Chain A
Amino acid sequence: MTRSVIDPITRIEGHLRVEMEVENGKVSDAWVSGGCFRGMEMVVENRTPEDAAQIVQRICGVCPVSHAHASSIAAEKAYGIKISNNARIIRNLLEGSQFLHSNILWFYNLAALDYVNPLNALKADPADAYALALEAGTSTNSDFVALKERLSAFADNGQLSIFSGNWFDAEDGTAYTLPPELDLICTAHYLEALTMQAKASEISALLGGKMPHIMTLVPGGTSFVPTDQKLDDLKGLVDELYTWVASTMIPDTLALAPHYADAFDWGKGCGRYLAWGVFENQSMEMVDRYLPMGVLDDSLSLSDAQESLITEYVGRSWYKGSDSYNAPYFTTEPEYTSYDVNDRYTWVKCPSYDGKPYEATSLSRILVAYKRNVPFVVEQVDSLLEALGAPGQISIAQSTLGRTAIRQIETLYIAGLMKEWVDELIEAVKSGDGEYFRKPEGITGAGTGFWEAPRGALYHSEEVKDGKITGYQIIIPSTWNLAPRDAQGVPGPLEQALVGVPVGDIEKPINALRTVHSFDPCTACAVHITEPATGKSFETVTSPWGVK
């Protein structure tokens, strides 16, 4: 029995440590630790809901739009506002552009280096690479010859830059199994993806001023007003992005998968999924969202989400006490003790739904949409399963590689929706609809924003009195996924997913890294502090002379 530790986990957002017990070449137990506490909810306390929508974006530089969105929905619920149709479409486009950016970046620039070895691409024959790309039906926008020369020059220089200390030699060099030609293709797409995720962010910037941290999504609607020129730019960018996503992402996934087919066998996790839903339809109902709300239990049977079933437990995290709290009345006081996997070992708290750990990822959204019979998703999932040689077997999606592959369906779905929304917006503007913002009427109330970040289900809840926030709570997808043990000692979703993962190299446990990345974790998001909506614990952690 040996311990294997990955700390820091790289190519994620934030700070994460994974400690594993390895027995007979497999992980037998795992502890996931989030390494940073920043204290977001206390900062928005006593400020306006409009300020909060700006400040909470700073939780995460990858998914700021989702935080602004969830915060604004919470404020609108508190104010009793329904946003205008134009605002709804613009906000869908903003959110969609962020999802495209995040999903592209995650697949190619964060996760892909677990499967692709760009240094191996030096051995590739560019002519064969073209032939292979054509055969795989993936895009050939890049000049493979020039790319190979560029990589050679880089290698000749001798400095490794972002490849310093790489794991390409893990498991005695057997961990990376792609042929050099496919490595070359995927490296080309790594570089293209950098450009495409930047393009997706240009859409966010066009509508939101800048990305990360957009400026125009405000409680009540949007401060952005389209002009002819901005609409024209928008259409151009959205079309370009769709073309690239449609011609590249799923074909690449299908080309990679056969070389790592064993990754369909492990990494399932807790096998329960929740999604709050994202992208508003005209009805503004959570079940009608383009990716709808839903909760799936062990047998994948579907139910509607209930806020009252959410609880949070802090007994294994660095907070005072060992209590469980019901939504939305969480309370926490941070208190670092020491890193001890038998006691407290993380800054991440442990949320439960109906008393059990739940996975909140892109896979959750797609499985819920599949169960709710969203036509595009059903069609794409079925054809992906067939292409993977497992028709009708949804269970293969519940794995490390499944979680990694299924996200491409979501990316394609959103890229297509973006085109629809642009047309919808143009039609609305043409018809003379010029309403973008509805002013708040009341300034006292409480509301919850159920939404989705690219990483999974996102929850913001706030209480407002005389225009000032008196209580604010956030549960972020990675808090669900990276949760520590619960009150009964049951490990969190990622901890469960790591159990059973083969480890051929204690120093470089690459399959564990693949599994972690399949969740697209974001600890920057996951760690934060909540307090009761009543705001009463405020006095217990602060004093008029400041905080100790």
Chain B
Amino acid sequence: METEATVSEFQQMLSARGVSRRSFMKLCGAVAVAAGLSELAAPRVAQALESSVIGAAKGKLYPVIWIEGASCTGCTEAFAKLEAPDAASIVLEMISLNYSETLSAAAGESMELAKEQTIKECAGNYILVYEGAVLEGWGGQALRVADKPGTEHLYEAAESAAVVVALGSCAVNGGWMGAHPNQAGALGVQEYLKKQGVGTPVVNVPGCPANPEWLVAVLADVVLLSLAPSELDLTSEGKPAGIFGQTVHDNCERRGHFENGEFVYEFGSKEEALGYCLYPLGCRGPQTKANCGVVLYNNRRSWCVQAGAPCIGCCEANPNDPGHNWVEVNTPFYKRHRDLRIGDWMVQPGTIALGITGILAAALVVHGFGMKITGRMDGGADFEKVRSWDAKHPDKSIGKYDAADVPNDKKEGR
């Protein structure tokens, strides 16, 4: 029992790091909410977190390989900014981050060896976090690591993983690289693995960057609650349902102003200082599914709307279609419409409306000429000299007609 962590040891460790029991429980509550559990699940999460610290009976840290694909490193950066639990605690006391191009002490060949060993020795028992897009351009050479195409690295690491976390919108479906003209051949992890016949389950966590608390929620489910990938509550697109089940608009702090019709019409205006709704400036909150307004960013410091910026829909990502990425779907960001693209042509909804109006007008003109040419317009219907009602009821008629026009039989009554 000597090696089993007790709560008091754990608390000592927390207090040594200046984390109070209270703020720890607050975190557990947050993790629970982020994971789609109720706040009441906090004690359960706490217990799971506590029993996984160093020295616990099941002392092994859960191995994780974190591969940078075609990324900006923004999701790693976001992860490194986690405060509670801080990134150091996670990589020292929760997971064994055996391969990370951004954080690992090793480099070069030694780094690749660490990855290979993890794949071999922990087969079926490690998590692969893949950040950035998969690039198929030039046979995968658009992304070269250790003298190999990036796609090979993904394939090798994904094949034996327990679960693959596609972290960030780029990993989900290519992100901005999938936007026209998609020169590098970007696509998402799920689609690539499907094409390659790799059956490892994929959890899609979009966002640009993905909120690190969403990753922690997934890690907590897999590592700490030991949920099998099939037990995770995912949407039809493989995204955690608790996080990506509702729209940004649903949980927006400015929602009340939307209901009241109080809007910001220009950046940096008085209305902005009053915290009015950003809908007229193109806010994509109503159509973007994520719980940003609940979890917030950077240790709950703020989030886009709170700082005065309309949502640009960075969580929009269809894992099966690189063309349906957040940039393509949402630009121009600050307008309420989106640009449509037919091949290389950019078209605006207004242009389409004008086009349709023009086609309709032209069709009507053609139709008119056609009618004229075929003679169907000539004279039109016969002119009615006497209204038929008047003709039937001459006694009640107030119309004035030439006598010659009134049919005789009608004059004489029925």
Please indicate the chain A residues that have their CB under 8 angstroms from the CB of B175 in the complex: 58
* Contact for B141 among A166, A218, A220, A336, CB less than 8 A: A336
Q: Are B143 and A15 in contact (CB under 8 A)?
A: yes
A30 within 8 A of B: no
Q: Which of A61, A197, A221, A546 has the most C-beta atoms of chain B within 10 angstroms of its own C-beta?
A: A61
A98 to chain B, nearest CB (A): 11
Q: How far apart sit A37 and B144, CA to CA, in the bound complex (Å)?
A: 9
Q: Are A221 and B106 in contact (CB under 8 A)?
A: no
Please indicate the chain B residues that have their CB under 8 angstroms from the CB of A109 in the complex: 80, 103
Q: CB-nearest residue of chain A relative to B118? A: A164
How many residues belonging to B are interface residues under a CB distance threshold of 8 Å?
A: 106
Mask: chain A, 1-23; 1 = CB below 8 Å from B; 0 = not: 00001111111111101000000
* Contact for A212 among B74, B100, B303, B327, CB less than 8 A: B74
| CB neighbors of B among A29-53 (8 A) | 33, 35-39, 42-43, 46-48, 50-51
A215 within 8 A of B: yes
B184 to chain A, nearest CB (A): 5
B413 within 8 A of A: no
* Contact for A35 among B145, B176, B331, CB less than 8 A: B145
Q: Contacts A43-B327, A163-B105, A541-B183: A7 and B145 contacting too (C-beta < 8 A)? A: yes
Q: Are B74 and A61 in contact (CB under 8 A)?
A: yes
A468 within 8 A of B: yes
B268 within 8 A of A: yes
Please indicate the chain B residues that have their CB under 8 angstroms from the CB of A216 in the complex: 307-309
Q: How far apart sit A547 and B70, CA to CA, in the bound complex (Å)?
A: 19
* Contact for A11 among B107, B273, B308, CB less than 8 A: B107
Please indicate the chain A residues that have their CB under 8 angstroms from the CB of B269 in the complex: 225, 437
Please indicate the chain A residues that have their CB under 8 angstroms from the CB of B253 in the complex: none
B86 within 8 A of A: yes
Q: Are A7 and B146 in contact (CB under 8 A)?
A: yes
A255 within 8 A of B: no
Q: Contacts A15-B144, A46-B346: A209 and B305 contacting too (C-beta < 8 A)? A: yes
Q: How far apart sit A223 and B308, CA to CA, in the bound complex (Å)?
A: 6
Q: Name the segment of B88-96, B241-249, B362-370, B389-397 touching the other chain.
A: B88-96
Q: Are B177 and A38 in contact (CB under 8 A)?
A: yes
How many residues belonging to A are interface residues under a CB distance threshold of 8 Å?
A: 110
| CB neighbors of B among A66-99 (8 A) | 87
Q: How far apart sit A465 and B59, CA to CA, in the bound complex (Å)?
A: 62
Q: Contacts A37-B184, A210-B303: A223 and B144 contacting too (C-beta < 8 A)? A: no
Q: Are A8 and B312 in contact (CB under 8 A)?
A: no
B401 within 8 A of A: no
B381 within 8 A of A: no
A431 to chain B, nearest CB (A): 16
B301 within 8 A of A: yes
A124 within 8 A of B: no
* Contact for A222 among B16, B54, B267, CB less than 8 A: B267
Q: Are B327 and A157 in contact (CB under 8 A)?
A: no
Q: Are B331 and A542 in contact (CB under 8 A)?
A: no
Please indicate the chain A residues that have their CB under 8 angstroms from the CB of B107 in the complex: 6, 8-11, 167, 513
Q: Are A50 and B327 in contact (CB under 8 A)?
A: no
Q: Are A165 and B80 in contact (CB under 8 A)?
A: no
Q: How far apart sit A10 and B73, CA to CA, in the bound complex (Å)?
A: 12
Q: How far apart sit A167 and B135, CA to CA, in the bound complex (Å)?
A: 30
Q: Are A436 and B111 in contact (CB under 8 A)?
A: no
Mask: chain B, 167-183; 1 = CB below 8 Å from A; 0 = not: 00000000111011111
B113 within 8 A of A: yes
Q: Contacts A7-B146, A205-B301: A51 and B331 contacting too (C-beta < 8 A)? A: yes
Q: Are A201 and B106 in contact (CB under 8 A)?
A: no
B217 within 8 A of A: no
Q: CB-nearest residue of chain A relative to B178? A: A43
B38 within 8 A of A: no
B76 to chain A, nearest CB (A): 7
| CB neighbors of A among B12-51 (8 A) | 13, 16-17
B202 to chain A, nearest CB (A): 22
A231 within 8 A of B: no
Q: Are B104 and A547 in contact (CB under 8 A)?
A: no
Q: How far apart sit A318 and B91, CA to CA, in the bound complex (Å)?
A: 37
B157 to chain A, nearest CB (A): 14
Please indicate the chain A residues that have their CB under 8 angstroms from the CB of B267 in the complex: 218, 220-223, 436-437
Please indicate the chain A residues that have their CB under 8 angstroms from the CB of B146 in the complex: 7-8, 17
Q: Are A48 and B307 in contact (CB under 8 A)?
A: no
Please indicate the chain A residues that have their CB under 8 angstroms from the CB of B299 in the complex: 198, 202
Please indicate the chain B residues that have their CB under 8 angstroms from the CB of A7 in the complex: 108-109, 145-147
Q: Which of B111, B147, B182, B267 has the most C-beta atoms of chain A within 10 angstroms of its own C-beta?
A: B267
Q: How far apart sit A48 and B110, CA to CA, in the bound complex (Å)?
A: 45
Please indicate the chain B residues that have their CB under 8 angstroms from the CB of A54 in the complex: 312, 333
Q: Are A8 and B111 in contact (CB under 8 A)?
A: yes
Q: CB-nearest residue of chain B relative to A67? A: B72
B247 to chain A, nearest CB (A): 18
* Contact for B177 among A39, A210, A347, CB less than 8 A: A39
B343 within 8 A of A: yes
Q: Are A50 and B298 in contact (CB under 8 A)?
A: no
Q: How far apart sit A223 and B272, CA to CA, in the bound complex (Å)?
A: 8
* Contact for B96 among A11, A159, A233, A347, CB less than 8 A: A159
Not counting A62-B73, A212-B77, a sample of 19 additional A-B residue pairs whose C-beta atoms are within 8 angstroms of each other reads A10-B106, A11-B105, A14-B68, A33-B144, A35-B144, A36-B70, A48-B332, A60-B74, A105-B80, A166-B105, A198-B83, A206-B302, A210-B297, A215-B304, A221-B268, A334-B137, A334-B138, A436-B267, A542-B344
- What are 15 pairs between A and B in contact, CB < 8 Å? A14-B71, A110-B102, A150-B16, A150-B92, A153-B54, A156-B55, A164-B96, A209-B305, A210-B307, A221-B268, A336-B138, A436-B268, A524-B73, A541-B181, A542-B181
Give the 10 A-B CB pairs with smallest separation, nearest first.
A61-B74, A436-B268, A215-B309, A437-B268, A146-B16, A210-B297, A205-B298, A544-B343, A209-B307, A336-B138
Binding site for A on B (CB under 8 A): 13, 16-17, 54-55, 59-61, 63, 68, 70-78, 80-83, 86-88, 91-93, 95-114, 118, 133, 135, 137-139, 141-147, 150, 175-177, 179-184, 186, 208-209, 266-270, 272-273, 297-299, 301-309, 312, 314, 327, 331-334, 339, 343-346
